[in-house]
Structure 1
Amino acid sequence: MTSHQFYLDELARLVQGELIGQSDLVLVGLSSLEQAQSQHISFVNGEKYLQEARASHAGALIVTATLKNQLNNHHNFIVVDNPYLAFAILTHHFEDKVLKRGIEATAQIADSAIIADNAYIGHYVVIGENCVVGEDTVIQSHVQLDNHVEIGKACFIDSHVTITGKAKIANRVRVHANTVIGGEGFGFAPYQGKWNRIVQLGSVQIGNDVRIGSNCSIDRGALDDTILKNGVIIDNLVQIAHNVVIGENTAIAAKCGIAGSTVIGKNCILAGGVGVVGHINIADNVTITGMSMVTKTISVAGSYSSGTGQFESNHWKRTVVRLRQLADVPLTKIVKQLDHMQAQIEHLESTLKSRK
């Protein structure tokens, strides 16, 4: 691990921003506006944060040109079009990285495995037959790679991850602690009151620049592969079942569950707690709001929701009672009542017009 310090002009070059102020100001970290001190740099992500920015003790601020003109009490700036993006770029330079390379003595590696010379293999890692670990990849302690698993270049595999099922992982992929990739999918054939296990013969294919959070399960395919395409990002505690395909740059938040053989398009967003049934398709550029249940194919881009919004508890209880009462009334009776009400309204309107 390393510590970092940068001159302000260095940081400006890293984000291709305009430096205003003291070019040789030394900064040792990023910080929020509230917690920043004189040796920190922070960012202002819109006018609603101006009051906090004026009160901040940050040594320098990342701002737009418009915001900079409203912060007369500060003197050191990096001016960019998108402060949040600039902040994201700088986090990579202040990050503590694992710089160690080589293979720890406690690791167990099959003779047929191919490990790049500049990879790092941590303590108690187990790597099976015919595995491949690419250049500059870091594999932390207690990871298990079963036979025929392949990991590309510049990946980070955190502690206690298991990768099995002949999974293939491309370049610059991050997999966080306790996740399982390539485990057996949930496939069973019912017959005469018993569940008959279906052996899962597919694999998992993960593209470039994918991020997978901790405690996730990504199951291998039954016959075809489970596929996560380039740029997919997945939060913690997500279940992805066998033969699911997820398109480029789709984001999936925590506690989502995606059932088998579903195809999700590119640039989609699944908010927290979304459930998706199996064997459906979701188009590109679809957003599913939190705790929704997706029960059928979505063919048109847009935002979709399901479920009932939040109520105060007593209001919720009254609403549930009314829903149950409504459910007990036959639909034909409701339609007749509405027709009767419409007829009465039309009669009243006619009577009022005749009196005029």
Structure 2
Amino acid sequence: MKSNQFRLDHLAKLVQGQVIGDADLLLEGLASLTQANSNQISFVNSDKYLDEAISSQAGALIVTSEMQAQLNQHNNFIVVQNPYLAFAILTHVFESKTVQRGIEATAVIDPSAMIGDNVYIGHYVVVGPHAVIGSNTVIHSQTKIDEYVEIGEDCFIDSHVTITGRSKIAKRVRIHANTVIGGEGFGFAPYQGKWNRIAQLGSVQIGNDVRIGSNCSIDRGALDDTILHDGVIIDNLVQVAHNVQIGENTAIAAKCGIAGSTVIGKNCILAGACGISGHLKIVDNVTLTGMSMVTGSILEAGTYSSGMGLLENSRWKRTVVRLRQLADVPLTKLVKRIDDMQAQLESIESTLKLRK
């Protein structure tokens, strides 16, 4: 059996699913319903994909029991309660992983650094004095681990990453290419027309199972630490400023910017290109839709939006004109107009009732 092939019953065991069909069927990859072939497995996430599933050439399908009953054209299934979760688990089985271990000859490691077992340190990596690298951690080429930085076990650090500011990173953290952790926060004191730099004396703490995409910046704190708690996931091109705290299992999509000293709760979702002002508090279980601009604290869970959805250009221009006109009218005058209109409507309604 090829090393990249897996029996259907083995895959089912990994996701705690039930096999229906040929348990010995060998599968060599995951694919979408439309692209899968007979050597691959796919998944059906909801009823809206049933037509695609019916015509799919996949060798096996991951489905719920209700979906399986509607797919008589197929013979091989893994039946689970949550097909998407099962798919997510199986991606790790077929993922191409770095199996190489050891330290490349071009890496530069300070003698005082502590390196765990089964570590891979790639070409031209620099590890500074008193840094700690946990067991089974993989660090790819041209990454810089500065002095006193601590990285836990089973982490993945991609190429061209810089980790500085005495940052502390827990276990199973993934940091992707070109990201900077612990860089200097944007702190300046204005005086007599000049900006006076504030030395950033804090650090960064990153919890277990955090994922940080490429080209992100997580700044160290001015005094207190910047903290990303367990399970936080961050997309590419995200800026987290100094002293920010992000609660467990919060998800942040690309191009979001979070200003300094803001505290974000657990299980929040920030869709793409959201901007959050500094020194705010956002409670647990808040969702911000794309391009929302948050200028005040959010103290109640729920979904929030700002901005305006896409309009055809001429409609957009007319809308902007009306908004400007509306802005020129004092609020008290608007309220008075509405009160007058309401009084007129009530008068008309009373007249009509009398006529009846």
**What is the TM-score of this pair, normalised by structure 2?**
0.98
Letter in 1 for 2:321: V
Aligned to 1:252: 252
Q: Is the partner of 1:326 in helix, strand or coil?
A: helix
Aligned to 2:292: 292
Say if 2:101 is the partner of 1:101. yes
Q: Give structure 2 stretches of 5+ with no counterpart.
A: none
Letter in 1 for 2:328: D
Aligned to 1:198: 198
Aligned to 1:346: 346
1:1-356 aligned within 5 A = 4-356=4-356
Asked whether the equivalents of residues 167 and 205 of structure 1 are also in contact (C-alpha less than 8 Å), the reply is yes
CA RMSD of aligned residues (A): 1.0
- Identity level (%): 74
Runs of 4 or more, structure 1, over 4 Å off, are none
Measure, in 2, the Cα distance between the counterparts of 1:272 and 1:151.
Answer: 29
Q: Is the partner of 2:154 in helix, strand or coil?
A: coil
Measure, in 1, the Cα distance between the counterparts of 2:40 and 2:307.
Answer: 44
Asked whether the equivalents of residues 9 and 24 of structure 1 are also in contact (C-alpha less than 8 Å), the reply is yes
Letter in 2 for 1:184: E
Task: Measure how far apart 1:287 and its partner are.
Answer: 0.5
Measure, in 1, the Cα distance between the counterparts of 2:213 and 2:157.
Answer: 11
Letter in 1 for 2:212: I
Task: Measure how far apart 1:346 and its partner are.
Answer: 2.1
Letter in 2 for 1:162: T
Task: Measure how far apart 1:321 and its partner are.
Answer: 1.0
Measure, in 1, the Cα distance between the counterparts of 2:218 and 2:140.
Answer: 20
Q: Is the partner of 2:181 in helix, strand or coil?
A: strand
Q: Is the partner of 1:324 in helix, strand or coil?
A: helix
Task: Measure how far apart 1:353 and its partner are.
Answer: 2.2
Measure, in 2, the Cα distance between the counterparts of 1:188 and 1:41.
Answer: 55
Measure, in 2, the Cα distance between the counterparts of 1:266 and 1:334.
Answer: 40
Deviates more, 1:176-185 or 1:343-352: 343-352
Measure, in 1, the Cα distance between the counterparts of 2:91 and 2:169.
Answer: 25
Measure, in 1, the Cα distance between the counterparts of 2:196 and 2:65.
Answer: 65
Aligned length: 355
Measure, in 1, the Cα distance between the counterparts of 2:234 and 2:32.
Answer: 25
Letter in 2 for 1:8: L
Measure, in 2, the Cα distance between the counterparts of 1:82 and 1:144.
Answer: 40
Task: Measure how far apart 1:117 and its partner are.
Answer: 2.8
Measure, in 2, the Cα distance between the counterparts of 1:239 and 1:347.
Answer: 57
Q: Over residues 309-339 of structure 1, what are the superposed CA-to-partner deviations in whole Å (9 max), with x where a residue is unaligned? A: 2222221111111111111222232222222
Asked whether the equivalents of residues 185 and 200 of structure 1 are also in contact (C-alpha less than 8 Å), the reply is yes
**What is the TM-score of this pair, normalised by structure 1?**
0.98
Q: Is the partner of 1:181 in helix, strand or coil?
A: strand
Q: Is the partner of 1:89 in helix, strand or coil?
A: helix
Q: Is the partner of 1:273 in helix, strand or coil?
A: coil
Deviates more, 1:300-309 or 1:251-260: 300-309
Letter in 2 for 1:263: V
Asked whether the equivalents of residues 3 and 96 of structure 1 are also in contact (C-alpha less than 8 Å), the reply is no
Measure, in 2, the Cα distance between the counterparts of 1:332 and 1:57.
Answer: 66
Asked whether the equivalents of residues 34 and 52 of structure 1 are also in contact (C-alpha less than 8 Å), the reply is yes
Task: Measure how far apart 1:262 and its partner are.
Answer: 0.4
